[in-house]
Amino acid sequence: MTASHSLMQVSAELKAATARLEAGPLGSECLVKVGGDWRLSEPVPSWNSVVGKRTAASVRVVAEDLGKWDTSLVLFLAHGRAWCLESKNSFHAEALPGDLQALLLRVSTMVAPKPMAKSAVKSNWALLETVEKKWASQAMEIVTFVGECALGFIGVARKPRRFRWMDCLVQMQQCWASSLPIVSLVSFLVGVILAFQAAVQLQQFGAAVYVADLVGLAVVREMGPIMAAMIVAGGTGAGFAAQLGNMKVDEEIDALETLGISSVDFLALPRLLAVAIMMPILAFYANALGILGGMFVSTTMLDIPAGAYWIETQNRVGLSDVTGGLFKSLFFGMAIGLAGCLRGMKCDRSAAGVGTATSSAVVTGILLIILADALFALIFNVLGI
């Protein structure tokens, strides 16, 4: 008994959705019989395939052996009704189950969504204007934030005890620890690459020893500080943005503000100072490894002894080159800290916002680094350093 019962159920489960049309005995009336299981996830007949090119004065829909059904049947019937309405026929669904009729009624009383006012295609000028406005507001944001930080530092200078020294030390430690391995590898390889490129050209003139001059100057004046700054921008700067962004999302920054604690003083200044201090140290380290990379290529490939390479480097690279590079990196550090903290604190209150803030911090950081470097190139040129 139970076995046959369950067997029947299984066969019921497998009924395919059907819709048949019969030209009924009432002359011009069409009879549409729907039956079987109607599932959105299964193929179901469409109204057009059922009626074809037929026309009729009225359509009557009846259920015949109807199994389980869902929105697919409602949709089918709604299409039928729309078809009838278009060809000014009458549509009769009174013979269908009550709940199906109720749903069909719901479809007919649904308010069509208002068409969105299509924004006109913007002209290139209008597009340029919006981009311009965005840039202007972002530039304004940066300037305001720089001002707030400057005021904060003046406050710290007045009351050094209020500064969060411990936070600053922790951030310095994290910056150092996270950047050191990559800075080591990248600066060593930059030295190697520069040496290779220089060697190919200089060897033609038998001037291979000048590889030391080229690598030394390029690394100390530009590549060391820049590469170290890029790595810190990608690691520490992005980290600042993610950290502060999360704090913003979790209302932690609000909690500071309602205590009357400035979030710039509390969060941004220790981070800014930490990265501004660490940056020249990392740049110095990058310089050393870059020169080491050049020396490695020279000793192994060009047969220049390490001692000779070192003496040549010392002769060419002066103290002003080194200090100039390190001075620049101090500003690179501040740019990274500014970009990271600013983007973090202006983050949208959502998980996506934190992601955007993080990537934006890296982009802004790198942009500011390059801008600062260009500015310094100009200044150093004028000053003759």
Partner 1 sequence: MTNSTPASVIEVKNLSCGYGETVVLQDVSFVVHPQELLFVIGGSGCGKSTLLRCLIGLLKPLRGDIAYFGKSFTTADAAQRREILKTFGVLYQNNALWSSMTLAENISLPLEEHTSLSREDRKEIIALKLKDVGLSGSEELYPSELSGGMQKRAALARALALDPAIVFFDEPSEGLDPITLREMDLLILHVRETFGTTMVIVSHQLSSIFRLADRVIVLDREARGIIAEGSPAELAANSTNPRVRDFLNQVGDSPKRTNQPFADKENHFSK
How far is the CA of 297 from the CAs of 178, 188, 290, in angstroms?
A: 27, 11, 11
Alpha helices in 159-206 (DSSP H): 165-203
Helices (H) and strands (E) in the chain, counts: 15, 4
Among 69, 145, 176, 376, binds partner 1 (CB under 8 A): 69
Cβ closest to partner 1, residue 5 vs residue 53: 5
Cβ closest to partner 1, residue 40 vs residue 377: 40
Q: Which stretch binds partner 1 (CB under 8 A): 98-106, 147-155, 202-210, 290-298?
A: 98-106
Among 254, 311, 375, 377, binds partner 1 (CB under 8 A): 254
CB proximity list for 60: less than 8 A, separation 6 or greater: 24, 29, 30, 31, 32, 92, 93, 95
Indicate the DSSP class of residue 59.
E
CA 374, distance to chain mean position in Å, is 27
Q: Which stretch binds partner 1 (CB under 8 A): 97-105, 173-181, 210-218, 278-286?
A: 97-105
Terminal Cα-to-Cα distance of the chain (whole angstroms):
101
Indicate the DSSP class of residue 17.
P
Among 177, 259, 319, 382, binds partner 1 (CB under 8 A): 259
Q: Cβ-count burial of 313 within 10 angstroms (0-12 exposed, 13-18 middle, 19+ buried)?
A: buried
Tokens at 284, concatenated: 């110095």
Cβ closest to partner 1, residue 12 vs residue 136: 12
Helix axes 269-301, 306-316, angle to 10 degrees: 130
The contact mask relative to partner 1 for 99-128 (x = CB under 8 A, - = no) is xx--x-------------------------
Q: Is 231 in the site for partner 1 (CB under 8 A)?
A: no
Q: Which stretch binds partner 1 (CB under 8 A): 65-73, 172-180, 219-227, 323-331?
A: 65-73
Q: Is 97 in the site for partner 1 (CB under 8 A)?
A: yes
CB of 134 to partner 1, least distance (A): 16
Q: How many residues bind to partner 1 according to rule CB under 8 A?
A: 22
Among 24, 67, 353, 355, binds partner 1 (CB under 8 A): 67
CB 321 within 8 A of CB 220: yes
Q: Rounded to 5 degrees, what are φ and ψ at 264? A: -65, -50
Query: Which H/E stretch holds residue 32?
Result: strand 29-36
Among 26, 146, 180, 255, binds partner 1 (CB under 8 A): 255
CB of 258 to partner 1, least distance (A): 5
Tokens at 369, concatenated: 């680094």
Q: Which stretch binds partner 1 (CB under 8 A): 50-58, 64-72, 144-152, 180-188?
A: 64-72
Cβ closest to partner 1, residue 26 vs residue 40: 40
How far is the CA of 69 from the CAs of 40, 49, 103, 224, in angstroms?
A: 9, 19, 12, 70
Q: Which stretch binds partner 1 (CB under 8 A): 41-49, 109-117, 247-255, 372-380?
A: 247-255
Among 252, 306, 350, 379, binds partner 1 (CB under 8 A): 252
Cβ closest to partner 1, residue 129 vs residue 252: 252
Tokens at 230, concatenated: 């890029």
Cβ closest to partner 1, residue 179 vs residue 246: 246
CB 183 within 8 A of CB 231: yes
Where do contacts with partner 1 occur on this chain (CB under 8 A)?
67-71, 97, 99-100, 103, 246-247, 250-252, 254-261
